[in-house]
Amino acid sequence: MTVATVTRSEFTKFFSTSLWWVLGLVLVLYIAFTAAALAFAIGAVGSGMLPGEGAPVPTEGVAPVLYSLAASVGYVIPLILGTLMVTSEFRHKTLTATFLATPRRGTVLWAKIVAGIVVGVGFGVVGALSSVGPAAGLLAAFGVETDLGVGSTWALIARVVLALTIWVVVGIGVGSLVRNQVAAVVGVLVFTQFLEPIARAAGAFVSGLDTVTNYLPGAASDALVGASIFQMAGAGTSTSGLEWWAGGAVLLAYAAVLLVLGYALNWRRDVS
Amino acid sequence: MPDGQVLEFAGLTKRFGTISAVADLTCSIQPGRITAFLGPNGAGKTTTLRMLLGLIRPTSGSATIGGRRYDELAHPLHTVGAVLEATGFHPGRTGAAHLAVYAQAAGIARSRVDEVLELVGLTHAAGRKVGGYSLGMRQRLGVAFALLGDPGVLVLDEPTNGLDPEGIRWMRSFLRTLAAEGRTILVSSHLLAEVQQTVDAALIISGGRLVFEGSLADLAYQEVPVTLVDAPDRGALVAALEGSAVPLEHLRTGIQVQGLDAASVGAIAASAGVALSALTDRGPALEEIFLEYVNGIRPPLLLTDDRRRPTPADAGEEPAAETVTDPDTAITSSADGMGEPADSREPVEPDMQPEARADEEGANR
């Protein structure tokens, strides 16, 4: 009944339903399509194949932004994955059996975190490949620099994997705090797809607001990765205020706070 | 050999806000026999069992298994197996994978999963998703989960709920076998009729309080016997019976005699020269006695110090009290609260069984 054996049990839970490959497939298709479409547009305009509008599109330094898509656009997938790892136990009432097998509840939560980290690395690598593969291929076809020979590019790709991994743990925190699966998933989608983008967009042109919005989880994640499609889209003015390590620390802090709150308020409650 | 442990509740109390779900419950459950945990819906049965299993935290008091709280057990699934009503299954997971998840968490070999599936007769459905299982199959999967660690203690919350008659029969014989192996078995039900053929001892809880603790024989102890008798010449039969000055009730199926057992009624009829067409010992009406305890009409009957409690060792050596045929032993065991004497049980069954079936069907609807 150590964290190791319980972690194995969590892996079996994870891989014995179709959730992992359905979400994995969504991640791959979503990221690959987005990366390919943007790489094609940038490459085509840059090479004069398509008419550009306004200022010429800078093709220099565009590759890392495309490679970062897995994190800046796709982070919601590992976030939901982590959330479901916990809420499905509430939804299907399997928590009873889980706690019967492992009455030390902290051990169960730790096992979920460890399993979530391993799964998160897997999703991170797959997500990164889904953005780097099509983007690098298309950029090369248009003769745009892929930057794949540069060490900093690979460091960025590694930080994409790291960010996606932390997002799984953030999701586990959300799930442990919000036990209702529908509420948790809807909450995650509303926050990540609606509230935070609006807040960050406002922060881009309201003076002083960015000191707050820089600490939002999505912004922290972009800071950790060091590049984001939103920088390019956001009139090119909004630079992430945080250093990459500070972004990572903020994202980890979100995970830690959610987990501590979830454990204290929810995880130790009566299971009936 | 699984190690049957004594379950002990000591002043166990659970309050939800101002509502007292379980109030100062103190009793113990012995190995080697089946103990029924009875009470109407909402009496606190499930809450008590979940406190025993560490799923609900008691407000005060304790529930222990062999002297330890559930979360103190070194190998919980090897010690206690539980079939709980609200135990869920992920519909997208196969039966075998469901069991493998918890076997891994408890450090149980994968081969045991196939063994328990075989034990409950689910081998053919092992690779199918639980979402496609029938209610009976899910209940069997729940039992398979409980048996994963070959535990000495089994706790079952309303295990026959929703089962068809075949499933109920299967569950009964299964529990009998497990108890005969020396395990401690605690099974809750809101219907006495459902378990009275299976269990040796009973706890009755009402409004969160224990109102009865003892054997089924204790439940009917000193009850007035009821006999149903009929003859082609009813007039002569009634005339003969009126001499004994006991209450008679005329029913469609015969005459119900209160206060005389079948043997006495038969003797009266024989001495009066009345030929009988029917003579049935109705036995004490257990269900009514049960309801009287629940409703507080009868004062609580709890084990006190003057009634010697059987030690776990005794119970282990004599797993099935009702198989004892020696009359002396049977009487002793009855006085001990060990189990019911064989002679009080046998005549009851033929008539009680149809009633029990009817009640089960009613409950299943």
Query: The CATH number of the domain where B253 resides is what?
Result: 3.30.70
Q: Residues A100-107: what's their mean pLDDT?
A: 94
Q: Is A237 on the interface with B (CB under 8 A)?
A: no
Residue A209 has pLDDT above 90, yes or no: no
* Residue A121 CB partners (closer than 8 Å, separation 6+): A161, A165
Residue A74 has pLDDT above 70, yes or no: yes
pLDDT of residue B326: 39
Residue with tokens 């299967």: B170
Is the Cβ–Cβ distance between B149 and B119 less than 8 Å? no
Q: Is A60 on the interface with B (CB under 8 A)?
A: no
Indicate if B274 and B166 belong to the same structural domain: no
Q: State the helix-helix crossing angle for B95-105 and B135-147, rounded to 10 degrees.
A: 20
Cα A234 off chain centre by: 20
Residue with tokens 């004994």: B244
Indicate if B254 and B325 belong to the same structural domain: no
Residue B352 has pLDDT above 70, yes or no: no
CA pair distance A102, A65, nearest whole angstrom: 44
Q: Residues B284-299: what's their mean pLDDT?
A: 79
pLDDT of residue A167: 96
- Using one digit for the tens of pLDDT, what is the confidence trace for B233-252? 888 888 888 888 788 888 88
Q: Which two tokens stand for residue B38?
A: 């009875």
Among A1, A16, A272, beta carbon nearest to B106: A1
- Using one digit for the tens of pLDDT, what is the confidence trace for B251-274? 888 888 888 888 888 999 898 888
Give the pLDDT band (50/70/90) at residue A230.
Answer: low
CB contact under 8 A, A272 and B50: yes
Greater model confidence, A232 or B47: B47
Give the pLDDT band (50/70/90) at residue A47.
Answer: confident
Give the pLDDT band (50/70/90) at residue A239.
Answer: low
CATH number for the domain harbouring residue B185 = 3.40.50.300
Q: Is B182 left (phi over 0), alpha (psi -120 to 50) or beta?
A: left
pLDDT of residue B1: 58
Is residue B303 domain-resident?
Answer: yes
Give the pLDDT band (50/70/90) at residue B161.
Answer: confident
Indicate if B215 and B318 belong to the same structural domain: yes
Is the Cβ–Cβ distance between A1 and B105 less than 8 Å? yes
Residue B353 has pLDDT above 50, yes or no: no
Least confident of A259-268, B78-87, B293-302, B314-323: B314-323
Q: A271 to chain B: nearest residue by CA?
A: B55
Q: B143 to chain A: nearest residue by CA?
A: A97
Task: Report which listed range, A121-125, B4-8, B334-338, is most confident.
Answer: A121-125
CB pairs under 8 A between A and B: 95
Indicate if B184 and B149 belong to the same structural domain: yes
| Exposure b/e, A89-99, CB count within 10 A at least 16 = b | bbbbbbbbbbb
Residue B52 has pLDDT above 90, yes or no: yes
Q: Is A106 on the interface with B (CB under 8 A)?
A: no
pLDDT of residue B160: 83
CB contact under 8 A, A16 and B57: no
SS3 B348: helix
Indicate if B122 and B256 belong to the same structural domain: no
pLDDT of residue B338: 38
Helix, strand, coil share of chain B (percent; to 5): 40, 20, 40
The full length of chain A comes to 272
CA pair distance B238, B225, nearest whole angstrom: 18
Full residue range of the structural domain in which residue B294 is found? 7-220+288-364
Q: Residues B177-195: what's their mean pLDDT?
A: 87
Comparing C-alpha atoms, which of B209, B200, B182, B210 is closest to residue B314?
Answer: B182
Indicate if B206 and B65 belong to the same structural domain: yes
- Using one digit for the tens of pLDDT, what is the confidence trace for A53-69? 666 666 667 888 889 98
Is residue B137 domain-resident?
Answer: yes
Q: Which two tokens stand for residue B159?
A: 């295990």
Residue B293 has pLDDT above 90, yes or no: no
SS3 B339: coil
| B→A interface, C-beta within 8 Å | 46-47, 50, 53-57, 70-71, 73-77, 80, 82, 84, 86-94, 97-98, 100-102, 104-107, 145
CB contact under 8 A, B100 and A12: yes
CA pair distance A184, B150, nearest whole angstrom: 38
Among B71, B77, B104, beta carbon nearest to A8: B104
Task: Report which listed range, A44-58, B171-185, B213-227, is most confident.
Answer: B171-185
Q: Where are the beta strands (DSSP E) in B106-247?
A: 153-157, 184-189, 201-206, 209-215, 226-230
Burial class (CB in 10 A: 0-12, 13-18, 19+), B111: exposed
Comparing C-alpha atoms, which of B236, B232, B238 is closest to residue B257?
Answer: B238
* Residue A233 CB partners (closer than 8 Å, separation 6+): none
Question: What is the percent of chain A with per-residue pLDDT over 90, rounded to a whole number?
Answer: 60
Q: Which two tokens stand for residue A201?
A: 């967009």
Q: Which two tokens stand for residue A246?
A: 């500070």
Among B47, B56, B77, beta carbon nearest to A101: B77
Q: Residues A192-200: what's their mean pLDDT?
A: 89
Q: Which two tokens stand for residue B193?
A: 């009729």
Is residue B122 domain-resident?
Answer: yes
Is the Cβ–Cβ distance between A92 and A168 less than 8 Å? no
Among B57, B89, B106, beta carbon nearest to A92: B89
Residue B283 has pLDDT above 80, yes or no: no
How high is the ipTM of this complex?
0.89
Is residue B155 domain-resident?
Answer: yes
Task: Report which listed range, A204-218, B60-74, B293-307, is most confident.
Answer: B60-74
Write the CA distances from B354 to A23, B158, B283, B357, integer angstroms: 54, 21, 14, 5
pLDDT of residue B340: 37
Give the pLDDT band (50/70/90) at residue B329.
Answer: very low
Dihedral (Cα; B14, B213, B158, B284), 10-degree rounding:
-140
pLDDT of residue B112: 95
Indicate if B35 and B160 belong to the same structural domain: yes
- Using one digit for the tens of pLDDT, what is the confidence trace for B84-130? 976 689 999 999 999 999 999 999 999 999 999 999 999 999 999 99
Q: What phi and psi values does residue A225 have, to the nearest 5 degrees?
A: -70, -40
Residue A220 has pLDDT above 70, yes or no: yes
Write the CA distances from B342 to B23, B197, B211, B310, B348, integer angstroms: 35, 12, 25, 18, 10
Residue A95 has pLDDT above 90, yes or no: yes
Give the pLDDT band (50/70/90) at residue B325.
Answer: very low
Q: B69 to chain A: nearest residue by CA?
A: A103
Measured between beta carbons, the chain A residues lying within 8 angstroms of B53 are 100
Residue B361 has pLDDT above 60, yes or no: no
Indicate if B194 and B110 belong to the same structural domain: yes
Q: Could you please report the per-residue DSSP string of B5-17? A: --EEEEEEEEEET
The domain tally of chain B equals 2
- Mean pLDDT score of chain A, rounded to an integer? 88
CB contact under 8 A, B105 and A1: yes
Q: Could you please report the per-residue DSSP string of B156-196? A: EESTTTT--HHHHHHHHHHHHHHHHTT-EEEEEES-HHHHT
pLDDT of residue B319: 41
Is the Cβ–Cβ distance between B160 and B171 less than 8 Å? yes
Residue B74 has pLDDT above 80, yes or no: yes
Indicate if B327 and B235 belong to the same structural domain: no
Host H or E run for residue B280: strand B278-281
Question: What is the percent of chain B with per-residue pLDDT over 70, rounded to a whole number?
Answer: 80
pLDDT of residue B258: 80
Indicate if B191 and B236 belong to the same structural domain: no
Indicate if B235 and B178 belong to the same structural domain: no
CA pair distance A250, A224, nearest whole angstrom: 9
Q: What phi and psi values does residue B189 have, to the nearest 5 degrees?
A: -160, 155
Indicate if B126 and B230 belong to the same structural domain: no
pLDDT of residue B358: 38
* Closest approach of B104 to chain A, Cα-based (Å): 5
Least confident of A242-256, B99-113, B225-239, B317-331: B317-331
